[in-house]
C-alpha cells in the first residue's frame, strides 16, 4: 500500500490488522519516497547508480547552495535551479533526448550531480525518479520487490514520476488506485 505520509501508512496497517483478516499482517504500507529509498539503499542498486542513498539534510543543502553559488549566479539562482530540476524530475523531463537543453542548465546539472556524488547524498526530489530509472533499466533484478497487489491512496495527487513508479512496481500485480475524482 502506497500513500503520502508515514502516519497514513501506519494507520492503514493498524486498520487492516483490526479487521482480523488472514494475511493482513503481511501488508507493507509505505510512502513512495520510503519505497524508493528502501530500493535505492540496497547495495547492488546504489553501486549500479554510482550514488549513495542518503537524503541531503537541510543544513547540507545550504552548503550545496553556497558551494555552487559562485559558478551559477548566486544563492537565489542556485535555489531556483534546484527547484527547477526537482520539477523536471517530477515531470520526467530528464527522459527527453538532449535534456537539459540550455547550456547553463547542462553545466548546473553536471555540477549538482558531481557535488551530490562527492558528498554521498541525493536530493529528496531524486528518490522516485532514480528508483523508477533503476527498475525500468534493470527488469528482473533480484533487488526489485515483486508484489501481487498494489494499493495506491490519493492517486490524484501523484506527479508523472510517481505514477510511472507505481506502474513499474505494479508490473503484473493487481493495481488499485484510490483518489478523489473531483481533485486534479
pTM of structure: 0.83
Cell numbers at 142, concatenated: 533480484
pLDDT at 66 over 80: yes
Q: Of 10-14, 65-69, 103-107, 177-181, which gets the smallest average pLDDT?
A: 177-181
At 158 the pLDDT is 87
- pLDDT category at 64 given cuts 50, 70, 90 is very high
User: Which of the listed ranges 2-16, 95-109, 112-126 does the model predict with the highest average pLDDT?
Assistant: 112-126
Mean local confidence (pLDDT), 121-137? 91
Long-range contacts of 135-138 (CB under 8 A, 24+ apart): 135/39, 135/165, 135/168, 135/169, 136/168, 138/48
| CA distance linking residue 61 with residue 116, whole number of Å | 10
- pLDDT category at 69 given cuts 50, 70, 90 is very high
Q: Of 81-85, 146-150, 170-174, 177-181, which gets the smallest average pLDDT?
A: 177-181
At 113 the pLDDT is 94
| CA distance linking residue 125 with residue 128, whole number of Å | 7
At 68 the pLDDT is 98
**Helix/strand/coil (H, E, C) string of the chain?**
CEECCHHHHHHHHHHHHHHCCCCHHHCCCEEHHHHHHHHHCCHHHHHHHCCCCCECCHHHHHHHHHHHHCCCCCHHHHHHHHHHHHHHHHCCHHHCCCCCCCHHHHHHHHHHHHHHHHCCCECHHHHHHHHHHHHHHCCCCCCCCCCCEEEECCHHHCCHHHHHHHHHHHCCCEEEECCCCCCC
Mean local confidence (pLDDT), 150-159? 86
At 139 the pLDDT is 87
Long-range contacts of 18-27 (CB under 8 A, 24+ apart): 27/1
Burial level of 112, CB count in 10 A (0-12/13-18/19+)?
Answer: buried
For a pLDDT cut of 90, what percent of the chain falls above it? 34
Mean residue pLDDT of the chain comes to 88
At 171 the pLDDT is 84
pLDDT at 72 over 90: yes
* Residue position matching grid coordinates 539534510: 57
pLDDT at 184 over 60: no
At 183 the pLDDT is 65
pLDDT at 18 over 90: no
Instruction: Give the residues across from 175 on adjacent strands.
Output: 150
Under 8 Å CB-to-CB from 68, ≥6 apart: which residues?
Answer: 78, 108, 111, 112, 115
Amino acid at each position: 500500500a502506497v500513500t503520502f505520509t508515514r502516519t497514513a501508512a501506519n494507520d492503514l496497517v493498524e486498520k487492516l490488522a483490526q479487521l482480523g483478516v488472514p494475511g493482513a499482517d503481511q501488508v507493507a504500507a509505505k510512502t513512495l519516497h520510503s519505497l524508493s529509498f528502501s530500493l535505492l539503499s540496497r547495495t547492488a542498486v546504489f553501486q549500479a547508480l554510482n550514488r549513495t542513498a542518503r537524503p541531503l539534510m537541510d543544513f547540507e543543502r545550504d552548503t550545496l547552495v553556497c558551494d555552487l553559488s559562485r559558478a551559477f549566479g548566486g544563492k537565489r539562482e542556485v535555489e531556483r535551479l534546484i527547484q527547477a530540476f526537482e520539477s523536471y524530475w517530477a515531470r520526467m523531463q530528464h527522459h527527453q533526448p538532449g535534456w537539459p537543453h540550455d547550456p547553463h542548465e547542462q553545466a548546473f546539472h553536471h555540477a549538482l550531480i558531481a557535488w551530490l556524488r562527492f558528498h554521498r547524498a541525493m536530493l529528496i526530489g531524486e528518490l522516485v525518479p532514480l528508483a523508477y530509472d533503476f527498475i525500468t533499466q534493470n527488469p528482473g533484478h533480484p533487488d526489485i520487490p515483486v508484489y501481487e497487489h498494489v494499493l495506491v491512496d490519493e492517486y490524484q495527487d501523484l506527479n508523472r514520476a510517481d505514477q510511472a513508479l507505481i506502474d513499474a512496481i505494479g508490473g503484473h500485480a493487481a493495481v488499485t488506485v484510490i483518489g478523489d475524482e473531483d481533485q486534479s
